[in-house]
Structure 1
Amino acid sequence: MKALIESIVTPLVDHPEDIVVTVNEEDTKIVYHLAVHQEDVGKVIGKNGRIAKAIRTVVYAAKTDATKRIYLDIM
């Protein structure tokens, strides 16, 4: 899932070397924290959050564990 997030975000940003995805796994949920360069935050979120919503939709659809919820946090 981490590679999927990186492959989606890399073409959107000007500083692909600054993409960092960390994972926090708990009993009932998995939280992915996406950090990008400060100048690229707006590009990843998009106008009215449309790009962020689309990224989340793809990530949620690709989940493999049906018992845990997946969250994507963009920083």
Structure 2
Amino acid sequence: MVYYLILCRSLTYAQRTATALERAGITAYILRSPKRIAGEGCGYSVKIAERNLAAALLALRRAELTPKQVYLTAGDGSYREVLL
């Protein structure tokens, strides 16, 4: 299954991001960022369906929330950063 991970700088920021997306009608799940993409320290991500990326970025812009990074994940477990 292909989906996007929106990396956030803290748990609170991930919660705000998920809330803004849910208000826009986009299903969002908060989870710990995979170590391969989180870098140093622990991080949190918000998971959204592949079809929702454009609407999610628009909703976050309206809520004045800027994603740290966005990654596309593939069914084979690989991650590819999406340049915004």
- Superposition TM-score, scaled by structure 2 size: 0.41
Pick the structure with more helix per residue.
1
Q: Which has the higher contact order (CA 8 A, sep 6+)?
A: 2
Pick the structure with more strand per residue.
2
